[in-house]
A and B are shown apart, each in its own frame.
Chain A
Amino acid sequence: MIGSDLLGIENLERSDIERILHTAVHMREVGEREVKKVPTLRGRTIVNLFFESSTRTRASFEIAGKRLSADVVNFSPSTSSMRKAESILDTARTLDAMDPDAVIVRHEVSGVPKCIADVLDAPVINAGDGAHEHPTQALLDLFTVQQEKGRIDGLTVTIVGDILHSRVARSNIYGFLKMGAEVRVAAPPPMIPPAIEELGVKSYTSLREALDGADVVMALRIQSERLAGSYFPSVREYAATFGLDRSKLHYAKEDAIVMHPGPVNRGVELAHDLADHRPSVILDQVRNGVAIRMAVLYLYAGRKRERGQSRSAS
């Protein structure tokens, strides 16, 4: 039984994930029709409440909502006026009074979607909160792997990059573990989160060992502006030790696929030629993103919270 909100993968059951992936298959078929629209959420209002700016994720949710015939409203409170004038909860309560059918929240601080879900009647979908979770990204990554490999059970997935600050890493760790894969993380030591192995993954500071026998290699974006000089000395050294290129990929399985949540820092996390060609499936990820978000909106939007039902069941 899927809960009222999608706040993260950590509290989803495997059966919930399977249901979402199953639904996404059919939503992808809608995206292949000539008329890419179904009336399912006609007359429903979906609000994109993006405190942190994002072009791709917001556009993806917008397309997904529109393909389901929903009315999509974008609300991007300018963060400076937010801090001074209106608290997050006041903004959320104001929105709730307009009776939306789903509110999609992105914020640079962990926990905000949950706080909003605690006061809202409408279902809340987390589009990324701080370094905590980004469930729809993980779901589209799981979907992409399932489509490419036919299964997820028994695969070895290696995630490379700034694990410490990455919500994509965390959500994918939960997701791939729940679906039966073995998950590894690789990063320079300051970017390995403390006690990460308690989540069920193995951590590596050697990229070569982490890639050995991997079926899926997921590269994460490095925020060089923020981190170069303090968490690692330079982009140049990062690219040399943890950046992926075809020769390093030889350590992985021959049919390994390469993934990246985007946008790619070419020449840093991925070599130029790796970003655009097989074995990279980055464009499939983007395509699948719309199908996954359609599936999530179909399953969560417009469902009335039952009286007494715990708000944040997921």
Chain B
Amino acid sequence: MAQETPPPSGRPLTRGSDPAPAGRTLLDDTAITRALTRIAHEILERNEDASRLYLVAIPNGGVPLARRLAANLSQIADVQVPVGVLDTTLYRDDLMLTGERPLLRATEMPSAVDERVVVLVDDVVKTGRTIRAAMDALMDFGRPRMVQVVGLIDRGHRELPIKLDYVGKNVPTSPRENVCLRGRDGGLEGPLEVALLPADPRGDA
């Protein structure tokens, strides 16, 4: 999930030092792999000219997914699709509300955006605000020919008119529950899973 508050000071800057809280697995690694294979096929189906594709991951969860998608596309259609990382934090619409400003994440855009078919990749899409912020950020980098969106999990509760072009799985949830992509030890290395966590008594993450 892209929008979240940073850990309290004193803890390391990287996420993932908490013991994994209990939760239900919505998708295990095998299911994720299958979904990403299907989505790669769908992308190729919708976009005749695969040479224009540009996968742009929204950190942190979108990054491993975008890399896997790039690998899939390379395997299926022998096309090398560039992978960029675009942090949306500076484009968020809720920065003035939170007590402490969230930590920034890396942005690396190896390719120019102009005339590309940019495929934004995010792990969990809920309100749609992150995707909106990503599009604003993208526009500051250039003028894409088209923007499409991959969401591994669509959990509904849109607050903006954002639709997903490619969905891994639709999961109905209560707005206060949390859905996140995670690997072993809380990071994003190795086999991944999508977990559904109960409502955080401390309030919205």
Contacts and interface: CB of A to CB of B under 8 A. Distances in A.
A71 B41 CA distance: 47
A302 B141 CA distance: 26
Contacts of A39: 90-91, 136
Nearest to B87: A26
Contacts of B8: 1
Nearest to B11: A15
A52 interface: no
Contact of A15 (B10, B92, B99): B10
Contact of A26 (B92, B106, B136, B137): B106
Given A29-B107, A40-B90, A1 B141 contact: no
A26 B91 CA distance: 13
Size bracket of the B interface: 20 to 34
A148 interface: no
A26 B9 contact: no
A23 B140 CA distance: 20
B100 A26 contact: no
B105 A18 contact: no
A35 B99 contact: no
Nearest to A295: B104
B140 A302 contact: no
B12 to A, nearest CB: 10
Contact of A38 (B90, B96, B100, B103): B90
B9 A15 contact: yes
A247 B175 CA distance: 67
A68 B90 CA distance: 9
A230 B90 CA distance: 51
A33 interface: yes
A35 B140 contact: yes
Given A1-B8, A39-B136, A22 B13 contact: yes
B9 A16 contact: yes
Interface in A3-54: 13, 15-16, 18-19, 22-23, 25-27, 29-30, 33-35, 37-40
B96 A302 contact: yes
Nearest to A36: B140
Contacts of B136: 39
Nearest to A40: B90
A26 B140 contact: no
Contacts of B87: 26
Interface string A275-314: 0000000000000000000000011001100100000000
A23 B103 contact: yes
A13 B140 contact: no
B95 A38 contact: no
A37 B87 CA distance: 14
A191 interface: no
A152 to B, nearest CB: 15
Contacts of A30: 90, 107
A2 interface: yes
Contacts of A34: 141
Contact of B99 (A19, A23, A303): A303
A298 B101 contact: yes
Contacts of B91: 38-40
Given A38-B91, A39-B91, A298-B90, 9 more contacts: A19-B103, A22-B104, A26-B107, A29-B107, A34-B141, A299-B101, A302-B95, A303-B100, A303-B101
14 contacts: A1-B9, A22-B104, A26-B105, A27-B104, A29-B107, A30-B90, A33-B140, A38-B137, A40-B90, A298-B101, A302-B95, A302-B96, A303-B99, A303-B101
Interface of A: 1-2, 13, 15-16, 18-19, 22-23, 25-27, 29-30, 33-35, 37-40, 68, 298-299, 302-303, 306
Minimum-distance CB pairs A-B, first 9: A26-B104, A38-B90, A15-B9, A35-B140, A40-B90, A299-B101, A302-B96, A23-B104, A1-B9
